[in-house]
Amino acid sequence: MTPMGWTDKWIEIDVDDIRNNLEQVRSCLKPGVRLIAVVKANAYGHGAPEVARLLAQQGVDFFAVSYLQEALTLRKSGLRANILLLTPLTTEEQVQEALENHITLAITSVEEAEMVDKVSRTFNWSGTVHLKIDTGLSRFGLDNAQAIKCCQVLKRNSNIYIEGIYTHMAEGTSPGYSEKQFKRFMSVVRDLQDKGYLIPVKHCANSAVLLNYPHMQLNAVRVGTLLSGQHPVGRFKHRLDLRDPYRFKCRIISLKSAAKGSYLGYHRTYRLRKPAQIAVLPVGYNDGLALAVNNRPSGWIDLLKVLAKTILNYFNFSRLQPKVSYKDNLYPIRGKVFMQMCLVEFPIDLEVKVGDEVEVPVRKTLALGNVMRCYVREGQAGKIDDERHTFYVTEGENHG
């Protein structure tokens, strides 16, 4: 039975898996290294307020997000821990709202520093900032001279506390470039120290760097991917025993028998090779099914993989067909995925019925935010309560 009887699709998040991943990450940290839990993009699809609340119950006291609205959502949910905003703000109104809600700001330009200084003085508000240094990702951030200028601007304001300094590594599997970025970052840190700017919190290690370069932990690390149950792309010297907490599930809403040779879906892209049962699921590309990130291939080998996958998909190569999980077995999605539905081929003699539960391969970061997320422990649905500091089962919401 689903956690809420009125819904035909939902996302299950296992709280014990998140706790396991947190402990695995902590096992990598050197003594005194602070964990900054990154819960951007709705905590990688797991639900930012709930995941942050759960991590806070386990002793995490520092979080990071990309955008102001993400930070405000956490504040409105009752999270009192530190929240670092990782991207620049563009207007005084945004800075005002961030300072009013005690959100730690990233300073990525001299103009931002001047804007934060102005807003703080206008309202006589205190604020905490981290300087973002660009060492080779080339997205945004300060160079050495700009970092010095920002310190000069902000140190004149007694309400502003320069708590941290950080950089973002371009990759974690290229030792040459990673070490070059690290040396650039530490050079800026030392230069600021020589000029009397002592900044207590220093961080450059993300999930990938944490696994490969222990000496880059400094005194804080920013981790999101590992907490979500996934290793970053690439090879790593050290791998953790992670668990994926995420399951996208739905009910079968229609079921019919179809003869051999029947065409399925728009443009008749698939024809049945044998009699089958065709199930309709209420999940389509509008929910994130069959969508993929379409970045430029990283090299010739990557390009060949993309081309080979496209060609094999065209010929309905079975190993590349997306599959759903039903009673611990996999069954293929056939034909083109619709906007809000898809078709699944089940064997003609399989015992299956409308209303049965199916797990669908929707990537967690592509799933719509309005799909209900259900938090479970040992198969029972419940709530992560801030006041009780615990997960508790809600009466009548057992899941099985």
What gap in Å lies between CA 183 and CA 174, rounded to an integer?
Answer: 14
Number of neighbours of residue 167 by Cβ within 10 angstroms:
25
Phi then psi dihedrals of residue 144, to 5 deg: -60, -50
Catalytic residue among 155, 260, 266, 274: 266
Residue 40 among the catalytic residues: yes
> Which residue do the tokens 């760097």 mark?
209
For residue 75, give both structure tokens.
Answer: 């504040």
Name the catalytic one among 40, 132, 249, 364: 40
The DSSP code sequence of 140-188 is S-B-HHHHHHHHHHHHT-TTEEEEEEEE--S-SS-HHHHHHHHHHHHHH
Q: How many CB atoms are located within 10 Å of the residue 251 CB?
A: 17
106 Cβ contact list (under 8 Å, min separation 6): 84, 85, 86, 87, 88, 129, 130, 131, 132, 166
Residue 266: active-site member? yes
In three-state secondary structure terms, 207 is helix
Helix (H, G, I), strand (E, B) or coil at 346: strand
Residues annotated as catalytic are 40, 266
